[in-house]
Amino acid sequence: MISKEVTVLNLLGLHARPAARIVKVAAQSKARFWIVKEEERINGKSIMGVMMLAAAKGCKVTLEAEGEGAEELVETVADLFANKFYEE
Amino acid sequence: MTTPIEEHPLQSAGNAGSDLQPELIMRGVPASPGIAIGPAYLFTKDRLKVEPRRLTQAQVPGEIERFRAALEETRQDILKTRAMAMKTTGDIVARLFDSHLLILEDVMLVDETIERMQEEKVSADWLVHDIMQRTYRSLKSQKGEYFSQRADDIRDVARRLVFNLQGVKDEYLSDLDKPVVVIAPDLTPSDIIHLDRSHVLGIATNLGGATSHTAILTRSMEVPAVTGLKNVTELVCPGQTMVINGNSGKVVLHPTPEHVEEYRAKRRKFVAFWTRLKELRDLPTQTTDGHRVRLMANIELPAESDAVVTHGGEGIGLFRTEYLFLTRGSLPSEQEQVTEYRRVVEAMHPHGVVIRTFDLGGDKVMPGLNFPKESNPFLGWRAIRVCLDLNDLLRAQLSAILQVSYQRDVRIMIPLVSDLTEVRRTRAILREVMAGLEAQGLPFNPNIPLGIMVEVPSAVVMARELARECDFFSLGTNDLVQYTLAVDRANENVTHLYTPYHPAVLRMIRDTVRAAHEARIPVSICGEMAGDPLATLLLVGLGLDDLSVAPVLLPEIKKIIRSASYETAHRVARQAFRYHTAAEVEAFLVATMKKLFADLPVWFNREG
């Protein structure tokens, strides 16, 4: 299991568009993928799930992946977070 | 949204038509226009009965099979409802059900249910309910309408799926035996699509706002509706006469016979108005002697394009794009703009859409951009000035507009032009953006018209020169009046001086029209003046090619244009120039319009 903590940097947090980006990237990977925020652990390939996290700016979440391409997936998604989902 | 309930004590014992219940007036959100009077019918659905059922290891594969079959059955249901929606209300509503299909395919729903079935050995309906309930609550607790609507979608899908798993048929309002007013805690899009139009007079719900699914759907099905009434389901007496007014948001429970009569009269008037509106919708906007004027609409949100179509607008003369910033508080991406613009352009096709570039600054300050505090914001950094300084912003917007322009009538309009240089710089940027799109092989209209809002006096004075380098003009009279008369209309002390009927403003309009027509470019007007019935003939007589007004005003304005000759309009315009003060011009117009339209139902703003 690969895991990495990331911080939500974009102004609006994980709302619809960033969520869609994450899910789109995750769907291309064969790895199993979760995002964890405090008690909540959701399937990172589900847009419903990611939106549900309601992670606002400043929130810390943990990316977890398992299986083929796990490391790469976590890095790609972490990169999205670090670059504010290329929106700002 | 709701206000406390007003109570009207019973006027006399044994009041005919009502029992001992005192009349109750409630206020909610007017979601869909129209008035309904009829017996209340309480529609509360049974709550889903879902209990966890333990499975043995051997039962798991069968349960997974059952779950997959239910998914497919639900998919078919949604497709069927979508087809029904397409038939009764059209494409825009049908698209609501596309998001239902996406939810049904969501991995969290599908994979998590299957995984948990294997691990926890519990029945599928319970798991689906559990997962969806959690998602629903979480989305509902978030800020913003977007999440709230997704939550409603999830609930609708969950209900269908659980019913299919349990082999239960969902109840719909499709087999009522007499006309009723439906009272419900809330309605799902599927409930509304399935309702029987001939027996549902109107709808009142506890939940929902002006932009909820209920509002969108009931409007397109032309069922009067009031939403957001909080507790109407608890107060209503099923079977008793009630009134809902979808125009005002008022709901009257146990109305007095006098009130019932009053609302009957109101309903007759409204039905007559609505019928006239529909008759007018498909008639051309032309004077009695055949002079055509194009009547277009001003919109702020893509969703308003529905109203433009239903009210018979011939395209959009002003699509304000600031909502893209103001509703989300961040910069919209180019791709997102493409999606939003396309929605409007496709909804209006074959009619055209004039997209105005961002008119930010002044009173529209954007949190994401660094707007300085200005002592004179209306004379400051706003509109095209901001766009030319923040080049990337303008480039992205122009690129998005170009991308929806291919084989469509799309035009670009720049606000607050005060100098020819601004037109030239914008055109230069437009050419660069075109070159970029061409390099990417993306299709667009290379001859896309580029026009300006004429709303600064310097633009009027320089109109002939500007007309040579613009493809069209649009008079923005709100700002033009403000700048010409040096009156801030928001300032209470001087607001009475604000009037588009000032002779100076009329001359500016006349000069702008002349300059445009000399250069053979069209000129329209999109300020509030265009929607004032008092100004209609004057503007037609001055030779404006298009009038662009708020969607609801379209029928009124069309009616006036269709009732007079071009010759009359000309005469009105000529005579208006004889007066030298705003008060005289206005008095002349009021007198003239009253004389000309004495036989028309009076719907002038000035007479309430």
Which H or E run includes B195?
none
Inside any domain, residue B1: no
- Summarize the confidence of residues A51-62 as an average pLDDT: 85
The answer to whether A20 contacts chain B (CB < 8 Å) is no
Query: What residues in B contact A43, CB-CB < 8 Å?
Result: 107-108, 111-112
Inside any domain, residue B523: yes
Lowest mean pLDDT among B88-102, B353-367, B434-448, B529-543: B88-102
Q: Cβ B142–A47 below 8 Å, yes or no?
A: no
- Res. B35 pLDDT band, cuts 50 70 90: very high
Inside any domain, residue B50: no
* Residue with the larger pLDDT of the pair B216 and B408: B408
Task: List the domain range (segments joined by +) for residue B138.
Answer: 57-166
Please indicate, yes or no, whether residues B294 and B399 belong to a single structural domain of this protein.
yes
- Summarize the confidence of residues B491-497 as an average pLDDT: 84
Q: Is the pLDDT of residue B389 over 60?
A: yes
- b/e string for B557-586 if b means 16 or more Cβ within 10 A? bbbbbebbebebbbebbeebeebeebeebb
- Summarize the confidence of residues A64-77 as an average pLDDT: 95
Q: Is the pLDDT of residue B473 over 50?
A: yes
Question: Chain B closest CA to A49's CA: distance in Å?
Answer: 7
Q: Is the pLDDT of residue B144 over 80?
A: no
Percent of chain A at pLDDT > 70 equals: 97
- Res. B326 pLDDT band, cuts 50 70 90: low
- Summarize the confidence of residues B556-572 as an average pLDDT: 93
B237 is catalytic: no
Please indicate, yes or no, whether residues B493 and B517 belong to a single structural domain of this protein.
yes
Instruction: Give B540-586 as a 3 state SS string.
Output: HHCCCCEEEECHHHHHHHHHHHHHCCHHHHHHHHHHHCCCCCHHHHH
Mutate to test the interface with A, among B127, B330, B333, B338 (most CBs of A within 10 A): B330
**Domain boundaries A2-86, CATH class:** alpha beta
Question: What is the identity of the amino acid at B57?
Answer: Q
B526 is catalytic: yes
- Res. A24 pLDDT band, cuts 50 70 90: confident
Cis peptide bond N-terminal to B377, omega within 30 = no
Do residues B401 and B341 make contact, with C-beta atoms less than 8 angstroms apart?
yes
Count of structural domains within chain B: 3
Question: Chain B closest CA to A29's CA: distance in Å?
Answer: 14
In this prediction the ipTM stands at 0.71
Please indicate, yes or no, whether residues B426 and B570 belong to a single structural domain of this protein.
yes
Q: Cβ B146–A16 below 8 Å, yes or no?
A: yes
- Res. B603 pLDDT band, cuts 50 70 90: very low
Q: Is the pLDDT of residue B506 over 90?
A: yes
Lowest mean pLDDT among A48-62, B206-220, B428-442: B206-220
Q: Cβ A52–B134 below 8 Å, yes or no?
A: yes
* Residue with the larger pLDDT of the pair A49 and B487: B487
> B607: how many CB neighbours lie within 10 A of its CB?
8
Q: Which of A61, A13, A81, A83 is nearest to B328 (CA)?
A: A13
Put simply, the chain A residues between 22 and 81 with a CB less than 8 A from any chain B CB are 42-43, 45-49, 51-52, 54
CATH of the domain at B28: 3.50.30.10
Which H or E run includes A29?
none
Task: Give the total residue count for chain A.
Answer: 88
CA–CA separation, A59 and A9 (whole Å): 8
| Selected catalytic residue, list B100, B213, B254, B291 | B213
- Res. A21 pLDDT band, cuts 50 70 90: confident
Inside any domain, residue B343: yes
Q: Looking at B277, B312, B337, which one is the last position of a domain? A: B277
Q: Cβ B107–A17 below 8 Å, yes or no?
A: no
Q: What is the pLDDT of residues B174-216, one digit of tens each?
A: 778 899 999 999 888 788 888 888 899 999 999 876 556 788 7
Q: Cβ B106–A16 below 8 Å, yes or no?
A: no
CA–CA separation, B137 and B180 (whole Å): 32
Do residues B132 and B154 make contact, with C-beta atoms less than 8 angstroms apart?
yes
Q: What is the pLDDT of residues B232-272, one digit of tens each?
A: 999 999 999 999 999 888 999 999 999 999 999 999 988 88
Q: Is the pLDDT of residue B472 over 90?
A: yes
Please indicate, yes or no, whether residues B114 and B147 belong to a single structural domain of this protein.
yes
> B31: how many CB neighbours lie within 10 A of its CB?
28
Q: Is the pLDDT of residue B523 over 90?
A: yes
- b/e string for A32-48 if b means 16 or more Cβ within 10 A? bbbbbbeebebbbbbbb
Please indicate, yes or no, whether residues B236 and B255 belong to a single structural domain of this protein.
yes
Please indicate, yes or no, whether residues B14 and B71 belong to a single structural domain of this protein.
no
